[in-house]
Amino acid sequence: MDAGLDKVDAIWEKETAIIDGIDISGPWNRMFEQRVIWEYTPELIDKVADLPGAESFSWCYQCAACVPVCPVDMVGDYGPRKLYRKAQTGTDLQSADDLWLCTTCMNCVRVCKKVVDMVQIMPAVREQAVLDGFVPEELQKAFEDTAKYGNPLGQSQRKRAAWTKKSDAPVPIIKDVKRPVDVLWYVGSYPSYHPRGIDAALAAARIFHALDIDYAILGREEKDDGDSQRLAGENGLFEMLAEHNISVFEKYEWEQMVVTGPHEYNAFKKEYAKLGFERPIQHYTQFLSDHLDRLSPLLTHEVQAKVTFHDPCYLGRHHGEYDAPRALLNAIPGLELVEMGRCRENGYCCGGGGGGMWLDSFTQNHTTMRLSERRVLEAAAYGADILAVCCPFEVSRFEDAAKSTGNDQLRVLDILELLDMSMRGEI
């Protein structure tokens, strides 16, 4: 008897079976009684679905459309359908390593017919895990540094605007301006502290100055937006940061906000709005593409390179913005834009979202390579000289990945840096 048939109470098999003149006698006509999935554990599915925000977990009907588009599954064994099946068969998601692998990239939500929303489910389950003390060590450090210093890099709040001293263009700080400004530029943590993030911030300052934008930054009054910490389960920390930032935003007079990163854009546009903060906000690519009529004449030097662009999940799928970054790249003379197979709505993920920025050491035990390495290999396969990005998380991630995969020839540059190169001729 076949393996597993000992659990079947009844098997029917005709000694002689001829259908439409064809003899199918033997095991080909075997019929089985209805089988029961004895190992099914609905209580572990309910344990997730009972959490506020995670209700849709129980809606999964195992079609598996999510698995082929999950970036983590491409380098491991993952996807919402697989998490649901594991919960069916005894895995408690709240205490499982799988809980921390999701980057909340939203590609699964894009294809799910039942709208199982992992962008809501995972933060809800992670929040409970955080309350129960199940937090990876490196993620806990990022939480602690953010709470203590106002940023996940553990840098002094007093040095938040130290990067401006390197700028050869003026960078006004709003408390010193003492008047209303047109644009409040929220710089963000990585552009304020990380060396490669600072490169992009300096480029942005030169571009804003060349365009004669009436802007200012918050300087040391600015703290991390906290959205990635929220997605990683630290909702209390997010609320503390949001309360601080909103009070600072409302302290000054300005017409619109421009942010450097997609994660800040998501935080202020979606999450801060739930707390009563609703003001005009643009990602820098949107803002600059709106000023292309004045920016284009400043792009006087050719950038002779084949460039491919990585769509940030939190600008693309989360907010539907795919055209503004490409409009800026196509405005740069000499630049050849080559699209990767996975782009726009089906763009791949750098691995930094949903707290993944601080979980590389943890996830390496569960994947064959980092998501950033997988993406760099793809960019190299398309013959790109430059991988262009517009998220502060991505420059350092992809530069490290280029080195670890032996693709040192691939340059990783923020679109701000490319625009600045075309303006100044320093290619």
Taking the C-alpha atoms of residue 62 and residue 71, their distance in angstroms, rounded to an integer, is 18
pLDDT of residue 34: 58
Environment class of residue 147 by beta-carbon count within 10 Å: exposed (0-12), middle (13-18) or buried (19+)?
Answer: middle
| Average pLDDT score over the chain | 92
List pLDDT tens digits, range 26-48.
665 555 565 566 667 789 999 99
Quick one: tokens of 391? 């998220």
Quick one: tokens of 198? 């600072």
Kindly tell me if the per-residue pLDDT of 273 is higher than 60.
yes
Helices and strands counted in the chain (H then E): 18, 12
List pLDDT tens digits, range 37-77.
666 778 999 999 999 999 999 999 899 999 999 999 999 99
Quick one: tokens of 157? 């709040």
| Domain 137-290 = CATH 3.40.50.1860 | yes
Mean pLDDT of 213-225: 97
Taking the C-alpha atoms of residue 72 and residue 319, their distance in angstroms, rounded to an integer, is 21
Quick one: tokens of 245? 């930032």
Determine the CATH number of domain 295-424.
3.40.50.10700
pTM, two decimal places: 0.88
CATH 3.40.50.1860 residue spans of the chain: 137-290
What's the CA angle centered on 165, arms 161 and 167, to 5 degrees?
Answer: 105
Kindly tell me if the per-residue pLDDT of 7 is higher than 80.
no
Instruction: Fill in the amino acid letter for 48.
Output: V
CATH 3.40.50.10700 residue spans of the chain: 295-424
Instruction: Fill in the amino acid letter for 365.
Output: N
Taking the C-alpha atoms of residue 427 and residue 424, their distance in angstroms, rounded to an integer, is 8
Quick one: tokens of 178? 């003492």
β-bridge pairing 305-309 and 281-283 = unpaired
- Report which of 50, 63, 183, 153 is spatially closest to residue 114, judged by C-alpha positions: 63
